[in-house]
Every structure is written in structure tokens, then in C-alpha cells.
A and B are shown apart, each in its own frame.
Chain A
Amino acid sequence: MDTKMDSISVIRPSRRTGFFLAAACLFAASALAFAQEVTTQLSSQQTRVGQPVQMMVTVTGGRAELPQTLSVNGLQINLAGQRSSSSAQFGSGGFQATTSTTYIYLVVPQFEGEFMIPAFDVTVGGRAFQTKPMRLSVGTGSAGGQAPPPQSAPGQPQQPRSSSSSSTNARPYFAELILTKKKAYVGEVVPAELRFYFSSRMSGQLGDRPNFGGEGFTVQKFSNAARREQVIDGETFQVFSFQTSITPVKIGTLAIPVAKLDARLQVPGSAPQGIPDIFGNLGGMFSQSQDVAIETKPSSIEVLPLPKEGRPDDFSGAIGQFTMDVTASPKKTEPGEPVTLTANIAGKGNFESMAAPTLTADEDWRSYPPAEKITTADSIGFTGEKKFDFTLVARKDQTLTPGLTFSYFDPDASKFETIVQPPLPVDARAATASTAPGPLPSTPITTDAPATPPPAPTGTPDIAAMASGASSWLSILQRRDFWLANAALAIAWLAVATILNVRRFAASSAGARAARRRKAHQLLAELRATDPKLFDEKAVQYLCIRLETDPLSISPRLDALTLPDDVRSAIEKILHREAESKYATGTSTPPSSEIRAEALAALAKLEACREK
């Protein structure tokens, strides 16, 4: 029960009941029972056939047990609901609270006449009470308030007609089934619509879906309820319609049983005599809840067999009116690559049970069962399109796809139709020896080719032998040995770079200068421990290297240096002694240790000295 009838004219019972229940709970703790009492009352003592009246049984002072139905010939009396009320008063006995419950019976007259509702037993707190008999006068009026109007013919205006000229007040709700055809072929989809009408004076809740089905036909899933308003005989009705379709599966006259929809309705009632209905404009405080099953009228449809004459060989059950559009993609393929042949069948009919079109001239193609997809344009799947994707692989190079044929039965024209799609141009290359997967053990499904035994699975090792590639799940770039080899190469590169750099430095003037400086430093160190006879000669060698000149140019080079006089003097003496030892005829005396010490001190100062 989830479809609510939207009406502001009625106060919803749940709220009212909740309020009274809350009030009852509030007073329950201090409630003291008044004297127990049972009273009965009719909302009206006069009514017409089909127009319900309410019978209210008010019980004070305790919980009551009442019958659910009362049996009176000509009256349908059912317990429809209850409501509670509480009151409090101060009296001589102090504070007293009273709770009363009103049980509401709905009395629906079946025919006219004078009726006596007999007394019946009511048990209150274990004590038996008896109600008073009541008289009800039923006059002539509309017959069968719940009877549906006659069924509309297919294609006729969708106005429901009253079964009599009486007011629709007598029929606050009714239903009808509309079939678009009275004659159909077996397997044909026949759209249908179930309509449920409710007077706008009512509110309530509807069941999810109608209960509809029967033998000899299948029913499509119902659409969601569509709601609209419609004026019938001057009264406004809310109309809830459910779209569906039925598919006959049996030949002959097919009885379509009633379709039922459960509803809980708030039926307006009239106030008891002497009690003003102050909420009358809001639907009345005396409305009550009523569970009803609204039914359509039984119907029938004539189901014909499909003719045998002219039935195409490839007919596979499609009934309706269809068109077919075929495309091939891609237009050009690599060797062994599949072509997808797409057939779009659009129109109206039984898409669910429609089989795929048939491939023609497909001997040189391998084909597989097509993928199917239905796209519906309405809620019941009657109109729309069905797409079939055939995957085709050329056995030989092909310039045309296979053709397609699609046969269906047109129920309006009462004859079979066949749509023939000629082959489409395509440049499909067969798998070459290097790409062919070899004969598969399972036979591909072909539509026209005669059944052949599965080919022997030979050639697989030969094909497998054509494979090369890796035997590792790691790429070369992911392998450790690759990176180790590269690391070794990187080290070699760095080594070569270092060597070349050193060689270049050595070959450069700065490198030569640094080399000379190192040699000078080394000579100076050796000079300290050298033979005194060779001291002057080695000292001059040092000076030549240090000053980057020859022995004869030492003196001019010294001018370029800012030297203390003692250093310069000591160096001059070295040069003099060395020249003397070289050019003098006599034997020269080696310098004394003091002279050597003085010379070494001067050379050390020269070592530290910077050029001007």
C-alpha cells in the first residue's frame, strides 16, 4: 500500500487515531472506570441502495468485544474501524476520568426496503451488554455502486460510462480493463491498460500493483501508476492507470479474468443525528477507513493460430511490425580481426521472444551467437528496438559481409513478411598462416552451414612453435642482471671520465705549473739531505723549476719577485758558488753547514713568496 490518493478533503484517520490514542495514554494512569455503558446509533436512518451509512457502537468504561460482521439479509454490515475519546471531570467523588470507544460499522444496502438491524451482544470488561435494534429505510437508487462501467472498445474514447443515469455518488470507485484488440494471434503482444477510478471525495492508499493474471496468457510487468483527473457525469474522479500487455499462448476464446487492486479508502459518512459535524468541510469527522478490492469486469479475447501458409523457413516467432537496419564495423580489418555486423530491428511487437535474423552467404565466415540488446520506447516494451551484434571472422579475404534475412508475422495484415538485407561492402582479411589460431576443437556456430564433425585439433604445436618472445614474466628493464650490467658500465664510464679529466689537467698549463710546483717542493725537501758537494747544483735546479726558467735567467726573474734582501743575497750566493764550481779551474769547497742552512732558509722563504 504505497500509492496515496491525494485529497485534502479528508482528515487522515491515522492522525486522528494517534491523537486519541495519545490522549488515552495520558489519562490511562489516573483513569477510573465510570459506569459501563453501550449505546448504538445510525448516521442516517434513510439511505439508498449502494449508499453506505455508518452504525456507531459507543462503549464506555472498558475494552469491548464486538462481532466483525453482522448478518442481515439485504445489508452488508462490516466493522470498519474505531476511535476513542476521553473526558475528565471533578465531582463529589473527586477527579474522575472516562474513556469511551466508538466502533464504526459500515452498512451498505444491497436492495431497497425497510430493514431492522437486530440487537447483538457486546462484551465490556467481561460483562455482556446488548445493543438496541435499529431501523433503516432504503430507497431506490443506483444499482451496484462498485460495478464497473462497460468496457471501452479499442480505440474508443476513454470516458467510462455510467451503467445508469444515476449520479456517480452511488459508485465512488470502479475499475476497467482496456484491451487494444478483441482478436489476436497466439504469441502476439496485446497492449492493455487497467484504470481505477476514485471519486475525488475520497482519499486513501492503493496497493502497489493490480493483481492480474490467468490461464492461457502471460502478463507483462506493470508500469508505474499514472494519475490524472477525469470528470464523469459531472463528478471529478481520480484515475490511476497501469499499462501492461498480455500475450496469448493458447488458441481459442481466452477468458480474461478480473484484475483486482487492493485499496484502503476513507469513505465519507454523515454525522449521527443531533451531533454537528464541525469538520464537514475537511471531509467530515465521521469518515471511516475501509479496505476494499476494486475489480475490473471479466473480459475475453479471441486467439487465432498463426497461418501455416506462406510461413518462411527462417520465421522464429517475431510478431508485429518491424524494420531492419544493418551496419558493418569496421569496414577494413587486419588479418584475423573480426567484423561486427549489427542488425537493428525496430518497430512494435514481441521483442522479448524475437530471435536473431539469419545470416546468408556466410560459408566463408566464422560466426558466433550474436549479442542482443533491447531498447524499449515505452514502459511495457511494446515499441522499441532490438540490436543483434554478430561477430564475424573471415575464413578467406572478403569484400562483402554475409547478408541477413528477418521474417516476422504482421498481425494487422495477417501475413508473413521477410526483410532481406544484401551483403555490405567490407575489406576483411583472413588470418594468415602466422595469425591463424588453427582449427579450434569446438565448432563455431554457423547458421546455414551443414553440421560437420569438429575438426581434428592438429597444427597447434606448429603454431606454438612460431611464438618467440620472452620466457620470463619480467621485462629486461625489470631484471636485476640488467641493472647490474648497467651499473658496471656506469662505473666504467666514471673511470674513463676521471682518467680523461686527469690527463687533460696534466696537459694544461695549470697542470704543468702544479707539476713543477710539486717537483720544486720535492727538490727542496731533498736539498736538506743532499751531499754538500751537490748542494749548490741542486739548489740551482730548484730555482730553475721554482722560477720556471734556465740558470742564466734566474737573476732577472728574481727581480720580478718581492724578496727580502737577505733572501736575495743568499740566492745570489748560491748562484755564484754554482757558477764558480762549474767554471773555476780549481777544486771548489763545498758550502758549510751554516751556509747551507742560510741558503735553505732563503729558499724556503722563496717557496712561500708570491710573484709580483
Chain B
Amino acid sequence: MKNNFALLAALFIAATPFVLHADDLDNARAQFKDREFDKSAVLFEKVSETSPSAGIFYELGRAYDGLGNNARAALSFQRSLLLDPRFAPARTALREAQTKLGIPQSKPRWQTKLAEFVPLDPVSLVATALFWFGAFFFLISIFSDHKKSRVLVSVASLVIAIGLLTSVWLSDPRVAHRDTAMILASGGATALASPAEQSEKIASLPEGSLITILSQRGRWFFAKLPSGANGWLLTDGVVPVIPNS
């Protein structure tokens, strides 16, 4: 009897986060529906920290959009696309947010296009399975008769699998954007030639601009700018696209 009670208690404790999460999500959606975008955004933020998903970030972005905070909205839509690059509504919403921010639309690279059409994680798993099929089949082939055709099949499997894994690695936005950050500082940020406030100004970056952080020195980031040039920016108001990265 005692053991049964302990088991029930353990199950209850384990299920608590999911129950709270569901409550917060429902509340966030209700607040959004009531046009209480600020409260809705707070709740969606909370949910996104515990259960990140493309859908949650999309809804968070919509809440920020309702608040008129285009930069935060763009960040949320960007995060939504990192988790699901094929989620077209987030892509459209991101484009609109960037348009409002005055961020020019860049031509998508082949990796981005591939990610828009291919489910990356399932393909990774399939490619891994194909790789090991090829590896084991190769092993069996070289210890059996009719070697030639079997070895060809196994080598082809290995080559295809390695090709798929490489493409997935290069296309996965979570890999490509692991060092990417967005300018959220009100009024944008200024890139300087050296990590000193008096140094020469290289570029002014509007809110919502994406940069690639190359290194950090104290309260300065050394980053690759959208123009391709490198410059120094204050860390204040620069937020990594992948949280806690």
C-alpha cells in the first residue's frame, strides 16, 4: 500500500511540469485572443523556455507583432524556423517583420532552400541507417561469394548516406546559425573598427539585423556583419538566435 502511494506521488510530481505547461499555453493563447499581447508574450516566453517548438515560437512572434515589437517578433519567427525550417507561415511572417524593420531580403542560399523542403532530422536518421546498412552489407559482401555486385551496392549505400549526412549538416539552420545573433537594441547598433567607443564607425545596423559572432572580448563582440565586413559591437542588445548558445 505504502509502495503504491509513493508510486502515485512520483507520477504526480513527474507530470506537474506538463500540466503547468499546458496551463500556461492555454492562458497565453487566451490572452492573445483577447488582444492582451503583452501578457500573452510573457506566457509564450515561459512556455518556449521549457518546451521549445516551432509552433510556440511562431505564436510568440505573433504576440510580439501585436505589440508592435518587430525586432522581437523577427527573432521569434527566426527561432521558429530554426526548429522547423519548413514551417512556411513563420517564413512569411519573418519576411514581413523584416520588411517592417527595413531589413533587406537576401536571396536564400541552397542550404536554406534544401531545409525548406527536406525534413532534416528524419533524413539524418534514414541516412544513418543507410550508412550502417552499407557498412554491414560491405562486411558481409567481402566474406561471401558474388562479391562484386554486393560490394558495389554497399559502397553506393555508404556514399549516398555520407552525402545525405553532409547535406543535412550543412543545411540544418541549428548548425548554420549556432553563432548567429540578432540586434535587438532599440535604434540598432553601431559596428566599430576596434573595441573602443571612440574608434572608427564601420556600419550602422538596424534593429533585427543578423550578425555572426566570431569572438568575444569583455563587453564587445567581434562579428561578421550582413555586408560581409567584420566589426566590433557592444554586447548589449545583441541576442543569440539560439537561446543560451
Chain A, residues 421-456, CB within 8 Å of chain B (1/0): the string is 000000000011011111011100000000000001
Does B91 lie within 8 Å of A435, measured CB to CB? yes
Chain B, residues 3-45, CB within 8 Å of chain A (1/0): the string is 0000000000000000000000000010011010100000000
Complex A-B: 28 CB contacts under 8 Å: A431-B89, A431-B92, A434-B88, A434-B89, A435-B88, A440-B66, A441-B37, A442-B68, A460-B29, A460-B62, A464-B55, A467-B53, A467-B55, A467-B80, A468-B119, A469-B53, A469-B54, A469-B83, A470-B121, A473-B245, A474-B174, A475-B175, A476-B121, A477-B124, A477-B165, A493-B135, A496-B136, A500-B140
Q: B96 contacts the other chain (Cβ, under 8 Å)?
A: yes
Nearest-CB distance from B56 to chain A (Å)?
7
**A497 partner residues in chain B, CB cutoff 8 A:** 139
9 more A-B residue pairs beyond the given contacts A335-B88, A469-B119, with a C-beta to C-beta distance below 8 A: A393-B92, A393-B96, A434-B88, A441-B62, A442-B65, A458-B33, A471-B51, A471-B83, A500-B143
Does B84 lie within 8 Å of A477, measured CB to CB? no
Does B92 lie within 8 Å of A473, measured CB to CB? no
Question: For residue A507, which residue of chain B has the nearest CB?
Answer: B143
**A371 partner residues in chain B, CB cutoff 8 A:** 102
**A472 partner residues in chain B, CB cutoff 8 A:** 52
Q: B207 contacts the other chain (Cβ, under 8 Å)?
A: no
Option from A391, A465, A477, A489 in Cβ contact (under 8 Å) with B168:
A477
For window 497-549 of chain A, which residues contact chain B by CB distance below 8 Å?
A: 497, 500-501, 503-504
Q: B93 contacts the other chain (Cβ, under 8 Å)?
A: yes
For window 350-368 of chain A, which residues contact chain B by CB distance below 8 Å?
A: 368
Option from B86, B121, B125, B136 in Cβ contact (under 8 Å) with A493:
B136
With A473-B52, A475-B120, A477-B124: A338-B132 Cβ-Cβ less than 8 Å: no
Q: B242 contacts the other chain (Cβ, under 8 Å)?
A: yes
Does B99 lie within 8 Å of A469, measured CB to CB? no
Q: A253–B196 Cα gap in the complex (Å)?
A: 53
Q: A466 contacts the other chain (Cβ, under 8 Å)?
A: yes
Q: B147 contacts the other chain (Cβ, under 8 Å)?
A: no
Q: A569 contacts the other chain (Cβ, under 8 Å)?
A: no
Q: A458–B29 Cα gap in the complex (Å)?
A: 10
Does B66 lie within 8 Å of A441, measured CB to CB? yes
Q: B232 contacts the other chain (Cβ, under 8 Å)?
A: no
Does A437 lie within 8 Å of B89, measured CB to CB? yes
**B124 partner residues in chain A, CB cutoff 8 A:** 475-477, 482
Chain B, residues 66-102, CB within 8 Å of chain A (1/0): the string is 1010000000000010111111111111011001101
Q: How many residues on chain A are close to B (CB under 8 Å)?
A: 49
Q: A335–B91 Cα gap in the complex (Å)?
A: 11
Q: B220 contacts the other chain (Cβ, under 8 Å)?
A: no
With A371-B102, A458-B33, A470-B83: A440-B62 Cβ-Cβ less than 8 Å: yes
Nearest-CB distance from B224 to chain A (Å)?
21
With A338-B105, A500-B139: A469-B85 Cβ-Cβ less than 8 Å: yes
Q: A143–B93 Cα gap in the complex (Å)?
A: 75
**A460 partner residues in chain B, CB cutoff 8 A:** 29, 32, 58-59, 62
Q: How many residues on chain B are close to A (CB under 8 Å)?
A: 57
Q: A472–B52 Cα gap in the complex (Å)?
A: 7
Question: For residue A485, which residue of chain B has the nearest CB?
Answer: B128
Which residue numbers of A lie inside 8 Å of B, CB to CB? 335-338, 368, 371, 391, 393, 431-432, 434-438, 440-442, 456-458, 460-461, 463-478, 482, 486, 489, 493, 496-497, 500-501, 503-504
Question: For residue A440, which residue of chain B has the nearest CB?
Answer: B65
Nearest-CB distance from B203 to chain A (Å)?
17
Q: Which residue, of B83, B89, B105, has the highest number of chain A Cβ atoms within 10 A?
A: B89
Nearest-CB distance from B122 to chain A (Å)?
9
Question: For residue A492, which residue of chain B has the nearest CB?
Answer: B136
Nearest-CB distance from A456 to chain B (Å)?
8
Q: B218 contacts the other chain (Cβ, under 8 Å)?
A: no
Does A464 lie within 8 Å of B174, measured CB to CB? no
**A458 partner residues in chain B, CB cutoff 8 A:** 33
Does A473 lie within 8 Å of B35, measured CB to CB? no
**B65 partner residues in chain A, CB cutoff 8 A:** 440-442
**B82 partner residues in chain A, CB cutoff 8 A:** 473
**A478 partner residues in chain B, CB cutoff 8 A:** 174-175
Question: For residue B169, which residue of chain A has the nearest CB?
Answer: A477
Q: A501–B96 Cα gap in the complex (Å)?
A: 62
**A468 partner residues in chain B, CB cutoff 8 A:** 54, 84, 86-87, 119
**A461 partner residues in chain B, CB cutoff 8 A:** 29, 59
Question: For residue A489, which residue of chain B has the nearest CB?
Answer: B132
Nearest-CB distance from B121 to chain A (Å)?
5
Nearest-CB distance from A556 to chain B (Å)?
37
Does A338 lie within 8 Å of B89, measured CB to CB? no
Does A476 lie within 8 Å of B125, measured CB to CB? yes
**A465 partner residues in chain B, CB cutoff 8 A:** 55
**B228 partner residues in chain A, CB cutoff 8 A:** none
Does B242 lie within 8 Å of A473, measured CB to CB? yes
With A435-B92, A475-B172, A500-B143: A467-B54 Cβ-Cβ less than 8 Å: yes
Does A469 lie within 8 Å of B29, measured CB to CB? no
Q: A438–B120 Cα gap in the complex (Å)?
A: 26
Nearest-CB distance from B129 to chain A (Å)?
10
Does A338 lie within 8 Å of B87, measured CB to CB? no
Q: A441–B68 Cα gap in the complex (Å)?
A: 9
Does A496 lie within 8 Å of B62, measured CB to CB? no
**A486 partner residues in chain B, CB cutoff 8 A:** 128, 132
Chain B, residues 152-177, CB within 8 Å of chain A (1/0): the string is 00000000000001001100101100
Q: A195–B59 Cα gap in the complex (Å)?
A: 64
**B58 partner residues in chain A, CB cutoff 8 A:** 460, 463-464, 467
For window 99-144 of chain B, which residues contact chain A by CB distance below 8 Å?
A: 99-100, 102, 105, 119-121, 124-125, 128, 132, 135-136, 139-140, 143
Nearest-CB distance from B62 to chain A (Å)?
5
**B90 partner residues in chain A, CB cutoff 8 A:** 437, 467
Does B139 lie within 8 Å of A493, measured CB to CB? yes
Does A471 lie within 8 Å of B53, measured CB to CB? yes
Q: A497–B139 Cα gap in the complex (Å)?
A: 6
Question: For residue B66, which residue of chain A has the nearest CB?
Answer: A441
Question: For residue A486, which residue of chain B has the nearest CB?
Answer: B128
Nearest-CB distance from B5 to chain A (Å)?
33
Does B143 lie within 8 Å of A504, measured CB to CB? yes
Does A368 lie within 8 Å of B139, measured CB to CB? no
Option from B59, B87, B136, B169 in Cβ contact (under 8 Å) with A469:
B87
Question: For residue A471, which residue of chain B has the nearest CB?
Answer: B53
Question: For residue A454, which residue of chain B has the nearest CB?
Answer: B35
Question: For residue B166, which residue of chain A has the nearest CB?
Answer: A477
**B169 partner residues in chain A, CB cutoff 8 A:** 475, 477
**A335 partner residues in chain B, CB cutoff 8 A:** 88
Does A464 lie within 8 Å of B132, measured CB to CB? no
Nearest-CB distance from A359 to chain B (Å)?
15
